[in-house]
């Protein structure tokens, strides 16, 4: 009798246990999805502020980010934030390119007309880059192999370039010497470093001397063989790498260069025993 009564009260609500488990898992799933969708708003705001400052000023460095960079040498970013930074960097490069083109495109057109034969013969390369207008003087056109003296045709070429530089009296210019990766070891040039720097210096001396370009506008750099524009495995590639680049810096690139400062004003000279202007008396001179 008791057995039949127990069977008549068997539970038919076991599905509630499975349902509760399902609801719990569903709740946990949405919690995880919500947490993963959240970003660090402060970091995103900082990135946006940096980009806004870059666009408004025309430079890639933001003062606020510089201060934070001095305090922290490394910054941890998530994968999503890294993608955002990469996107902003690409937009900055595009903005710099547009800035250079707006400033230097007329100069590029002028030089392309005046240097058309040299460009066609491969003696000069002309390109517009984010940092400015780059004129690459090939070694074969301006220097004998392994030397820093000019060939006869180099002076007329540099004369045409100087005429363009005079139309931009405030434009900063950087002269960059480059070599291929073939080592050099002579009494005059112990390594490619000396050769590359000497050739850039020779161009500067000609521009500042004979062509009378303002020396304060120019800077010299020697890069040896560490910044090639072509492979060094072929004679043609090595010939392209042996060059001096005359870089007309864009406004944004020039702002990152060291700025000229006014020379200090010398103090007024005074004689012994005579008080300087402003009152008071000088102590009497001591006898030896």
Integer Rg of the chain from CA: 34
Contact 132, 256 (CB under 8 A): no
Q: How far apart are the C-alpha atoms of 47 and 39, rounded to whole Å?
A: 13
- The CATH homologous superfamily to which domain 102-255 belongs is OmpA-like domain (3.30.1330.60)
Q: What is the mean pLDDT of the chain?
A: 77
H or E element that contains 66: helix 63-71
User: pLDDT tens digit string along 82-109?
Assistant: 555 566 566 666 655 555 667 788 888 8
Q: List the chain domain ranges.
A: 15-76, 102-255
Least confident of 134-138, 152-156, 168-172: 168-172
Place of tokens 């020697």: 222
Q: How far apart are the C-alpha atoms of 179 and 148, rounded to whole Å?
A: 12
What are 94's two structure tokens?
């595009």
> Which residue in 218, 219, 221, 238 sits closest to 229, CA to CA?
238
User: pLDDT tens digit string along 233-285?
Assistant: 999 999 999 999 999 998 778 888 887 666 566 655 554 444 444 444 444 44
């Amino acid at each position: 009798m008791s057995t039949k009564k127990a069977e008549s009260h068997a539970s038919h609500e076991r599905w509630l246990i499975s349902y509760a488990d399902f609801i719990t898992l569903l709740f946990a799933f949405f919690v995880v999805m919500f947490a993963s969708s959240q970003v660090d708003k402060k970091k995103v705001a900082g990135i946006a502020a940096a980009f806004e400052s870059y666009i408004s000023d025309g430079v890639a460095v933001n003062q606020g980010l510089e201060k934070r960079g001095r305090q922290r040498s490394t910054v941890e970013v998530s994968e999503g934030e890294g993608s955002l930074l990469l996107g902003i960097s690409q937009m900055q490069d595009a903005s710099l390119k547009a800035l250079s083109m707006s400033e230097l495109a007329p100069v590029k057109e002028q030089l392309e007309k005046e240097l058309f034969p040299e460009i066609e013969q491969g003696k000069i390369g002309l390109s517009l880059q984010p940092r400015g207008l780059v004129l690459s003087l090939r070694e074969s056109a301006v220097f004998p192999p392994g030397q820093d003296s000019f060939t006869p045709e180099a002076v007329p070429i540099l004369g045409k370039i100087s005429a363009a530089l005079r139309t931009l009296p405030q434009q900063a210019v950087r002269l960059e010497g480059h070599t291929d990766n073939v080592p050099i070891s002579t009494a005059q040039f112990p390594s490619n470093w000396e050769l590359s720097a000497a050739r850039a210096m020779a161009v500067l001396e000609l521009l500042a001397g004979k062509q009378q370009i303002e020396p304060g506008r120019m800077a010299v750099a020697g890069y040896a063989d560490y910044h090639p524009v072509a492979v060094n495995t072929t004679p043609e590639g090595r010939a392209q790498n042996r060059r001096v680049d005359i870089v007309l810096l864009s406004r944004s690139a020039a702002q990152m260069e060291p700025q000229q400062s006014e020379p200090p004003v010398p103090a007024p000279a005074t004689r012994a025993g005579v008080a300087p202007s402003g009152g008071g008396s000088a102590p009497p001179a001591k006898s030896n």
